[in-house]
Amino acid sequence: MNINRYPSFGVLLVDDEAAFLRSLSIVLERRGGINHIFQCQDSREVMDIIARENIGLVLLDLTMPNVSGEVLLQQIVEEYPEIGVIIISGLNQLETAVNCIRLGAYDYFVKTTEEDRLIEGIKRAILMQEMRLENQEMRRRFLTDTLERPEAFSSIITEDKGMRSVFQYLESVAPSSQPVMICGESGVGKELIARAIHTLSDRSGSLISVNVAGLDDNVFADTLFGHHRGAFTGADKARAGLIEQAAGGTLFLDEIGDLSQASQVKLLRLLQEGEYYPLGSDRPKRLRARVIVATHQDLAQKQKEGDFRKDLFYRLKTHRVDIPPLRQRSTDIPLLLEHFLQEAADELGKNKPTIPKELPVLLANYAFPGNIRELRALAYDAMSQHRSHMLSMDVFRQVLDREITAPEPEDLAEHMLFNPERPLPTLQEVGDLLVNEAMLRAQGNQSLASKLLGISQPALSKRLKKAQSQ
């Protein structure tokens, strides 16, 4: 189980100087938040440690007694090609560096190199390893079509194949420390997805959620970063921000598309540097929470229009998941309807009624602009008015009769409806095709099919009888 360790795999430090191992470990943890560290002072023990522990990255000195770093590099690359190796040597020689890269090292740093470059290089290597592991895991899950922890998604009611693919993707990226962007229309259940990611990541801390829509820059900074006493007028005592409250857990920022430009800069720095300053403080604190964001807006379009920072957009979309709207998950509608009616019945102290068999068919032909949240509201409203054994459809009809429409036609400029090389069908033939399609979508229900066609039920019945007699 991976609890608050970054990265999910071990980072092995190999050097014969104990003082350097100790100082490098401190720098990695304080400056990079890297705390999944193994140390080895005797180069003869390196291969045994790699065989025993889950090592994903080795930071290797070259000049050591017993077994040299160059020999170890060749052994690691040959026996464990999936492990990344970074050389950190006291030798500042171009020829040596080029030879190490040729042998398979990911990067080469000189011990006197400034800390910032070293930390960034190591974090870059960790990110590459994380992406390799995630791609490997995703391939395995999609090929075997498995979910290893289905209980993490127990609060999400679905039988949709698209949602199952989303779950498999989330299982693959959950161990990563990188941000996750959840995209989807309002009401599709983005917060439930965030909770599932938090559960899968096995973090010991809490999931802290905040809707950032409408927060001005000062309120955003104070909410996330907290403040020291006296930081501003009215700050009578220190207050921990949400980042600190989420330490060891997950910070979920909803409606990220509404964030102001000034707040976007602060969030970008937080993600890039991994640290922040509480208001009124000159001492930084480390970010120790996984960041998840959600939006119903098209951030790619917003960044093209200059309303959302491009660098922040690409930083956030390291892992992106798109939740399909309810209208694309029509098989889930009966399941969700049953669930919400039972939930409403329990809350109102009533018995759950029988659902008319035509109701799921009717709902499957509705666009649900409010998605699952709208279906839940309709179910609760219907349950509150319910008086008999069979559920009344009046509440649903009042909404659906006003708004039910056939799907919008394709853009005629891009998709021609008829083959230009063949003669046009007659009006009678087109009419028959529409009637057949409406009856198919309505599953044989003439009342619903007539609404889809925009004609009366007697008119539809007349057309059907005429077609049968021909």
pLDDT tens track for 264-315: 999 999 998 888 999 988 888 989 999 999 999 999 999 999 999 999 999 9
Across 151-167, average pLDDT: 93
Q: Is the pLDDT of residue 358 over 90?
A: no
Query: Lowest-pLDDT range, 60-74, 193-207, 446-460?
Result: 446-460
Query: Which residue did the predictor score with more confidence, 228 or 375?
Result: 375
Give the tens place of pLDDT for each residue, 225-262. Answer: 999 888 887 778 888 999 999 999 999 999 999 999 99
Average pLDDT over residues 52-61: 95
Q: What is the mean pLDDT of residues 47-74?
A: 93
Q: Which CATH number fits domain 327-403: 1.20.1250.20, 1.10.10.10, 3.40.50.300, 1.10.8.60?
A: 1.10.8.60
Query: Phi, psi at residue 34, to the nearest 5°?
Result: -90, 110
The percent of residues in the chain predicted with pLDDT above 70, rounded, is: 94
Q: What is the mean pLDDT of residues 440-448?
A: 79
Where does the chain hold its CATH 1.10.8.60 domain(s)?
327-403
Q: Is the pLDDT of residue 92 over 90?
A: no
Cite the residue boundaries of each domain of the chain with CATH code 1.10.10: 427-469
* pLDDT tens sequence across 378-429: 999 999 988 878 898 888 888 777 665 444 554 444 555 667 667 777 787 7
Q: What percent of the chain has pLDDT over 90?
A: 56
Please give the pLDDT value at position 238: 86
- Of the listed ranges 180-189, 417-426, 439-448, the least confidently predicted one is 417-426
Tell me what the mean pLDDT of segment 354-372 comes to: 89
- What pLDDT is recorded for position 411? 46
CATH of domain 10-136: 3.40.50.2300
**Higher pLDDT among residues 458 and 47, named by residue:** 47
217-226, 295-304, 427-436: the lowest-pLDDT one: 427-436
Contacts of 118 (CB under 8 A, 6+ apart): 27, 88, 109
pLDDT of 201 strictly over 70? yes
- Mean residue pLDDT of the chain comes to 88
Q: Is the pLDDT of residue 105 over 80?
A: yes
Per-residue pLDDT, averaged over 28-47, amounts to 92
Position with higher pLDDT, 387 vs 155: 155
Considering the domain 427-469 in this protein, what is its CATH number?
1.10.10
Task: Note the CATH architecture for domain 145-324.
Answer: 3-Layer(aba) Sandwich (3.40)
What are the residue ranges of CATH 3.40.50.300 in the chain?
145-324
